[in-house]
Amino acid sequence: MKILTCVYRTYYDDPVAINPNFYNFVTIPRAMGHSVTFFDHTVLSRVAQEIADDLLCSAVKGGNYDLVLIETGSTEFSRSALQEAKKYTVLLGFNSDDDFRWLDYSSTYADCYTYMITSYYHIYDYARTNGFNVIHSPWACSGMFDGKGTTKDIDFSFAGGVHGHRLKRLLTLSDSIPIKVFGKGSASTMSGYSSLLPIFLNKFRGGHGTRTSLRNWLLTKLKMSPDSISYKEANSIWSRSKISYTPLSLEKKHLTLKYDMAQKLGMDSTSDCFNPWICPYQVKGRVFDLGLSGTVMICDNNPMITRYYDPSTEYLTFESNEELLEKVKYYLSHENERFIIASNYHKRTEAQHLWKHRWNHIIKTVMG
């Protein structure tokens, strides 16, 4: 197939970090034998939206693409450009965070696409029932890195961005058990403060950057490097880790949006982890990304994951720090049991949850 992908090249504007979706939407389909062209629509739209619009329309009119996949974000393309492009090809919008932004964002652009792709089954079910053209495609593992045979020389780790409430959770956890943290916590470099006094003196004198400086001071408590880690490096860390910490809780502001959306749509807004409309957890890409690493994933007790993996036999869950600590200590000292869980996780991921599986499903759906 001939595919055009409009995807973010970098991750959160970090010049070092590559957006994992670049691999998922460009590298993987190329490895499957498809012809894939891409451009970063976000970079062009920052110069002028008209540039992004013109490139998209000219590409689809003369490119004979079988399908075009756009990683949706904000308003990088105008509605008129998307609707024009849809006349010439199958236009797919890949949405993330639909669990709290379907109503205010994704649904408002649905008529501009041939299909909207959502990773959340309850959103897919609702949208399909209400006349939207949607495809359900959960996140998946790239399949590019297999760490099953890698020596596990890290007991317990977290690899990824330390932002929002992840920082607080990691600091609390590190007070009770050694955890190695890898990733970048902020856009600025570590300030190396030995105490809080210089930070608050700077604030008192009218200086700026107090919040960032305070965050960086807290990051030093995790003995964390300020440098970004690449997708390859993250996979290397997961492959070296016996147990990988995987926090999945939503930020409070996003949970509020999720609750508001459920109410506006007339859905049950009873506070219950088993209610997908207001469940306080997400199913993120890392749930699948860790699958081939040979690690044991331990994450919040998110019932939505049981659609894809079996708890206790393919991954571990916890509902409190006490339970988390107890399980980490137990499985670090019971290697055979840990190995069985990691192997089951690997087998299920390899059989069902690679991006090549998602691509085959998407192509089969749109091409019949």
pLDDT in tens, 242-299: 999 999 999 999 999 999 999 999 998 777 778 999 999 999 899 999 999 999 999 9
Query: Per residue, what are the HEC states of 100-128?
Result: HHHHHHHHHHHHHCCEEEECCHHHHHHHH
Q: Are 154 and 242 in contact (CB under 8 A)?
A: yes
Of the candidate ranges 164-173, 179-188, 342-351, the one whose mean pLDDT is the lowest: 179-188
Average pLDDT over residues 158-182: 83
DSSP strands (E only) in 210-313: 241-246, 296-300
Rg (CA), the chain: 22
Question: Is residue 1 scored above 70 in pLDDT?
Answer: yes
pLDDT in tens, 110-165: 999 999 999 999 999 999 999 999 999 999 999 999 999 999 999 999 998 777 67
Look at residue 221 in the predicted model and tell me its pLDDT.
58
Average pLDDT over residues 183-190: 45
Phi/psi of residue 92, each to 5°?
A: -115, 135
pTM: 0.87
Average pLDDT, whole number, for the chain? 88
pLDDT band at residue 202, thresholds of 50, 70 and 90? low
More confident residue, 8 or 28: 28
Homologous superfamily of domain range 154-352: Glycogen Phosphorylase B; (3.40.50.2000)
Pairing outcome for strands 241-246 and 154-159? parallel
Look at residue 294 in the predicted model and tell me its pLDDT.
98
Average pLDDT over residues 206-232: 61
Look at residue 17 in the predicted model and tell me its pLDDT.
65
Q: How far apart are the first and last CA of the chain?
A: 14
Q: How far apart are CA 319 and CA 36, in angstroms?
A: 43
Domain with CATH 3.40.50.2000 in the chain: 2-140+354-367, 154-352
pLDDT in tens, 32-67: 999 999 999 988 888 888 999 999 999 999 899 999
**CA nearest neighbour of 3 among 72, 81, 92:** 92
Helix (H, G, I), strand (E, B) or coil at 203: helix
Look at residue 130 in the predicted model and tell me its pLDDT.
96
Domain 2-140+354-367 has CATH 3.40.718.10: no
